[in-house]
Amino acid sequence: MAAPLALVVVVAVTVRAALFRSSLAEFISERVEVVSPLNSWKRVVEGLSLLDLGVSPYSGAVFHETPLIIYLFHFLIDYAELVFMITDALTAIALYFAIQDFNKVVVSMTRIFRRKPGQSRPFIIWLSFFPSLCFLHSRLSVPDLTPNIGLFWYFFAEMFEHFSLFFVCVFQINVFFYTIPLAIKLKDHPIFFMFIQIAIISIFKSYPTVGDVALYMAFFPVWNHLYRFLRNIFVLVCIIIVCSLLFPVLWHLWIYAGSANSNFFYAITLTFNVGQILLISDYFYAFLRREYYLTHGLYLTAKDGTEAMLVLK
Amino acid sequence: MGLLSDPVRRRALARLVLRLNAPLCVLSYVAGIAWFLALAFPPLTQRTYMSENAMGSTMVEEQFAGGDRARSFARDFAAHRRKSGALPVAWLERTMRSVGLEVYTQSFSRKLPFPDETHERYMVSGTNVYGILRAPRAASTESLVLTVPCGPDSTNSQAVGLLLALAAHFRGQIYWAKDIIFLVTEQDLLGTEAWLEAYHDVNITGMQSSPLQGRAGAIQAAVALELSSDVVTSLDVAVEGLNGQLPNLDLLNLFQTFCQKGGLLCTLQGKQASGRPHGPHGLFLRYRVEALTIRGINSFRQYKYDLVAVGKALEGVFRKLNHLLERLHQSFFFYLLPALSRFVSIGLYMPAVGFLLLVLVLKALELWMQLHEAGVGPEEPGGASGPSPPLLPTQTVGLASLVAPLLISQATGLALYILPVLGQHVAAQHFPVAEAEAVVLTLLAIYAAGLALPHSTQRVVSTQAPDRGWMALKLVALIYLVLQLACIALTNFSLGFLLAATMVPAAALTKPCGPRPLWAALLVLTSPAATLLGGLFVWRELQEAPVSLAEGWQLFLAALAQGMLEHHTYGALLFPLLALGLYPCWLLFWNVLFWK
């Protein structure tokens, strides 16, 4: 089992090294769908130089990373590429082993069409305690309105000052609000809960990028068994592909050709996010249905013996 | 979430899509064409109006009276040009300086990928001459440009004469708030591109040019002038730029107002679909400078206008542009012009393409449902036990057999894009043709060779799911086509609509069963190259200069060469789009047709 993993890791490292050295790296690092104020490497370097000069990196609206990151990169700035590559490889290997483990559990649970009562896994919540809360302010109040694939920048660009606090609260609540209800519903399925939570965070966070989208999409192969219960997968995949293709076209038309304007770009952003939300809810619904079939059998009959249908109400 | 989660309504909708698919598709296609044709009529078109406040409030009184001076300049220019064979740089410099401008020159050279008919050699070089009229009391932060392109075949001497006379007239006025640059370029558009790149300090097309010594601030607007006769009967306005980009509608409205004021007849020719810059203005648009090209036409009409009338119109345009406080942004950037004073905005013309693409979407939905045996749907496992093992095994088989045709089609497209220019020397050595012809003929040869592909790919791909493999391939091809046509229609509507109108029926109807020769003929007739050929014939018919078959074929070859050359010299996107995008997509449909 280690051979395909090793092969994939080697291929991934090669591809990453080749891309990093190609002219594509410059081009991609400027793309607004990939780079946001949160993860922009230029901003990290800017923050480091501000730190060297003794100024707080959060004083302007340039730097939005956490303080741990800035201290970490203070020492690793020269080996940045190597650090990223090693981290990626480690993430891939860790995910691989975790999912292997999880798959064994899933298979054993489906073989017995009955849930073992009371078996739950403790799940890990990462809480890093940071020495300063400045980063929280710069991340939560969304001071940077560079367009990205998220929903915040357009609203806050056209809002008056005295309403902005209210809307910031409303928008940010969306990220945290679903945690408790989902935790109650999915208390026996921590991995699925983590997947849904990551997806919700990457849709509703202040500065999303395609990296966040790729993060939760990397988990789709884990839920392959849900595929047959998905209902709108075709339409949603088409929506997401079309929007991904139209992002650079409309960005070019807006910024370089000057013919379109922000409304065109935001329309595509809205459609993309709606597609993502529908995709996540489709997966959630498929999961619930599968759980129902696991406990009540695959062929449903109504009280009078005819075929029954499962409906979400 | 009623529609998405209610199984009863979903089943009804699925049945509707499956049963009424053909009538819905036909209806949608007819609706799309009918909507497009209806764009010429009143409820969908509006009269043009000036949106920019700064240009609408005051009327100007034109005082240009330098007709004689313009004609004498023109005669001198023509004589010097005949004597030297190229642009008479020294004479231009002297004259511009005598008129009172700051004069600078710029030399440029460019190596063409292959020699075309007009240039007949690889290296093209020339000199641009420009003079700057500094605004007397302003800070030189903004400027306007009046440019005359001079090529080896188009002397434009009257335009140069008018330019110099206007410069002399403008020099005597005190109301200028922006600098005016009077630019005379050599080698037509190549010179203009060299000047623009040097002015904005970029290098996007690989031109070698000397840096500019004098600049005048950000260019707000530009007018290009082409006049070859002393009298004109009408002025032809060219609006479309590179890749179908259009200037702000206000600039056109402005020019039209002055033409109406002076009683000048203006005409318009629509050629957005080719994506070519039809005049120097097309290159200005890329730098976010609104620009127009005005061509004087001398035809067999009764009423003729002399250079004074044209000069007055230009003077009015420049005086109004002088009033601008910011760049033109109020009016529309995406529009269609059925006539010079009527326009259609994007919200009203997009549904036409939307209906055409809806045909492809409906077909794709139908294929998806057929692939998953809809009506029953995957969420009803309590049916036949056939589909109950999940579709993953067939899915993976389907995906694997799709990859080969996709890769091969894309590789053929890549060959179509790279090989003609790369292999021109090899071809010219082995065959008795010139390089330009070699390039075009290689292009056609690779295009035709793609038709033989299905016979070779069938041997590579083993058919594990013979019956339904073609459905999956057609589904992917349909989605690919919709994506490309949508992107093209956004940037260049005419091209998008033309391609959609021709390719949609063939793409929707293609299937490996039924009368194959008929579908094959339909598919070949609607391939991008055939559309181009047919388009040329129709265009010449509309121009009332119909061509015979042989002449049409020559025009077609010339158009292909022009398209490739423009891609390499100006970055026009028509050629890569057709070669790397639409042609592979069309090859996929050809593969579907010949699926065994």
* CA trace torsion B279, B281, B285, B289 (10° rounding): 170
> Beta strand B335-339 with B342-345: parallel, antiparallel or unpaired?
antiparallel
- Place A117 in a pLDDT band, splitting at 50, 70 and 90: very low
The pLDDT tens digits for B294-351 are 998 888 888 888 889 999 999 999 999 998 888 888 888 999 888 888 899 988 999 9
- Choose the most confident range, by mean pLDDT, from A128-132, A133-137, B17-21, B412-416: B412-416
Cβ separation B483–A309 shorter than 8 A: no
> Beta strand B266-268 with B234-238: parallel, antiparallel or unpaired?
parallel
Cβ separation B333–A259 shorter than 8 A: yes
- Place A218 in a pLDDT band, splitting at 50, 70 and 90: confident
Distances (CA, A) of A40 to A34, A203, B36, B198, B256: 9, 18, 45, 32, 48
The pLDDT tens digits for A276-289 are 999 999 999 888 88
Residue A111 scores a pLDDT above 70:
no
Element (H, E) at B99: helix B89-99
- Place B15 in a pLDDT band, splitting at 50, 70 and 90: confident
What count of other Cβ atoms lies within 10 Å of the Cβ of residue A163?
Answer: 10
Cα gap B161→B78, rounded to integer Å: 9
Both B273 and B408 in one domain: the answer is: no
Query: Which chain B residues touch A246 with a CB distance below 8 Å?
Result: 486-487, 490
Could you tell me if A195 and A221 are in contact, meaning their C-beta atoms sit under 8 angstroms apart?
no
Number of domain units in chain B? 2
- What is the end-to-end Cα distance of chain B in Å, rounded? 42
B49 part of a folded domain: no
- Look up tokens 């406080």; give the residue: B325
Confidence (pLDDT) at B371: 83
Max CA-CA distance within chain B? 94
Cβ separation B5–A259 shorter than 8 A: no
Q: DSSP string spanning B167-227?
A: HHHHHT-S---SEEEEEEEETTHHHHHHHHHHHHT--SS--EEPPPS---SEEEEEEEEE-
Segment A296-307 shows an average pLDDT of: 69
Query: What are the extents of the domains in chain A?
Result: 1-109
Query: Which chain B residues touch A278 with a CB distance below 8 Å?
Result: 4
**Chain A interface with B: residues with Cβ < 8 Å:** 224-225, 227-232, 234, 238, 241-242, 245-246, 249-250, 253, 257-260, 278, 281, 285, 289, 298-300, 307, 309-312
Q: DSSP string spanning B552-590?
A: HHHHHHHHHHHHHHHHHHH--SHHHIIIIIIHHHHHHHH
Segment A158-167 shows an average pLDDT of: 87
Listed in sequence order, the residues at least 6 apart from B82 whose beta carbon sits closer than 8 Å to its beta carbon are none
Residue B238 scores a pLDDT above 60:
yes
A97 compared with A61, residue with greater pLDDT: A97
Both B265 and B158 in one domain: the answer is: yes
Exposure of A17 in the CB half-sphere (CA atoms within 13 A): 9
Distances (CA, A) of A230 to A24, B160, B378, B473: 36, 69, 8, 22
Both B410 and B324 in one domain: the answer is: no
Cα gap B516→B519, rounded to integer Å: 5
B336 part of a folded domain: no
Could you tell me if B264 and B231 are in contact, meaning their C-beta atoms sit under 8 angstroms apart?
no
B287 reaches A (C-beta below 8 A): no
Confidence (pLDDT) at B395: 53
Confidence (pLDDT) at B373: 67
Q: CA of A225: which chain B residue's CA is closest?
A: B390
Distance of CA B75 to the CA centre of its chain: 35
- Place A122 in a pLDDT band, splitting at 50, 70 and 90: very low
Residue B42 scores a pLDDT above 80:
yes
Q: How far is the alpha carbon of B378 from chain A, nearest alpha carbon, in Å?
A: 6
DSSP 8-state secondary structure symbol assigned to residue A253: I
Q: Which of B129-143, B459-473, B558-572 has the lowest mean pLDDT?
A: B459-473
- Place B586 in a pLDDT band, splitting at 50, 70 and 90: very high
B4 reaches A (C-beta below 8 A): yes
Distance of CA A143 to the CA centre of its chain: 21
Cβ separation A238–B479 shorter than 8 A: yes
| Domain boundary, last residue among B329, B344, B359 | B329
Q: Which of B265-279, B406-420, B578-592 has the lowest mean pLDDT?
A: B265-279
Instruction: Report the percentage of chain A scoring pLDDT > 70.
Output: 76
Confidence (pLDDT) at A110: 64
Cβ separation A228–B4 shorter than 8 A: no
Could you tell me if A207 and A172 are in contact, meaning their C-beta atoms sit under 8 angstroms apart?
no
Confidence (pLDDT) at B382: 36
What CATH number does the domain containing B93 carry?
3.40.630.10
What count of other Cβ atoms lies within 10 Å of the Cβ of residue A119?
Answer: 9
Query: Which chain B residues touch A229 with a CB distance below 8 Å?
Result: 378-379
Please, is B201 exposed, middle or buried when counting C-beta atoms within 10 Å of its C-beta (0-12, 13-18, 19+)?
Answer: exposed
Cα gap B223→B255, rounded to integer Å: 10
Cβ separation B382–A298 shorter than 8 A: yes
Residue B379 scores a pLDDT above 50:
no
Residues forming a β-bridge with B344: B336
B13 part of a folded domain: no
SS3 A54: coil
Q: Give me the helices (H) in B461-582, please.
A: 466-491, 493-509, 516-525, 528-542, 549-570, 574-576
Q: How far is the alpha carbon of B373 from chain A, nearest alpha carbon, in Å?
A: 13
Q: How far is the alpha carbon of A286 from chain B, nearest alpha carbon, in Å?
A: 9
Cα gap B246→B336, rounded to integer Å: 10
The pLDDT tens digits for B137-187 are 888 899 999 999 998 876 789 999 999 999 999 999 998 999 999 999 988
Q: CA of A241: which chain B residue's CA is closest?
A: B483
Listed in sequence order, the residues at least 6 apart from A179 whose beta carbon sits closer than 8 Å to its beta carbon are A197
Residue A121 scores a pLDDT above 50:
no
Residue B264 scores a pLDDT above 90:
no
Confidence (pLDDT) at B224: 94
What count of other Cβ atoms lies within 10 Å of the Cβ of residue A198?
Answer: 15
B370 part of a folded domain: no
Q: Which of B178-182, B450-454, B561-565 has the lowest mean pLDDT?
A: B450-454
Confidence (pLDDT) at A120: 30
Confidence (pLDDT) at B376: 39
Confidence (pLDDT) at A33: 72
The minimal CB distance from A298 to the residues B288, B377, B381 is found for: B381
User: Which residue, among A86, A83, A87, has the nearest Cα to A75 in the 3D structure?
Assistant: A83
Residue B462 scores a pLDDT above 60:
no
Residue A106 scores a pLDDT above 80:
no
Cβ separation A300–B288 shorter than 8 A: no
Both B318 and B444 in one domain: the answer is: no
Max CA-CA distance within chain A? 79
Q: How far is the alpha carbon of B321 from chain A, nearest alpha carbon, in Å?
A: 19
Query: Which chain A residues touch B373 with a CB distance below 8 Å?
Result: none
| Domain boundary, last residue among B275, B303, B329 | B329
| Domain boundary, last residue among B329, B356, B375 | B329
Query: Which chain A residues touch B392 with a CB distance below 8 Å?
Result: 224, 227
Both B306 and B418 in one domain: the answer is: no
Domain containing B247 equals: 63-329
Confidence (pLDDT) at B11: 80
Could you tell me if B50 and B251 are in contact, meaning their C-beta atoms sit under 8 angstroms apart?
no
- Look up tokens 């996929």; give the residue: B588
Residues forming a β-bridge with B290: B221
B56 part of a folded domain: no
Question: Which ipTM did the prediction report?
Answer: 0.82
Query: Which chain A residues touch B365 with a CB distance below 8 Å?
Result: 234
Cα gap B346→A145, rounded to integer Å: 28
Segment B243-269 shows an average pLDDT of: 87
Computed over every residue of chain A, the mean pLDDT equals 76
The minimal CB distance from B391 to the residues A228, A242, A257 is found for: A228
- Place A138 in a pLDDT band, splitting at 50, 70 and 90: low
Listed in sequence order, the residues at least 6 apart from A27 whose beta carbon sits closer than 8 Å to its beta carbon are none
Both B292 and B406 in one domain: the answer is: no
Q: Which of A1-5, A248-252, B169-173, B342-346 has the lowest mean pLDDT?
A: A1-5
The one-letter amino acid code at A39 reads N
B277 compared with B508, residue with greater pLDDT: B508
Confidence (pLDDT) at B391: 44
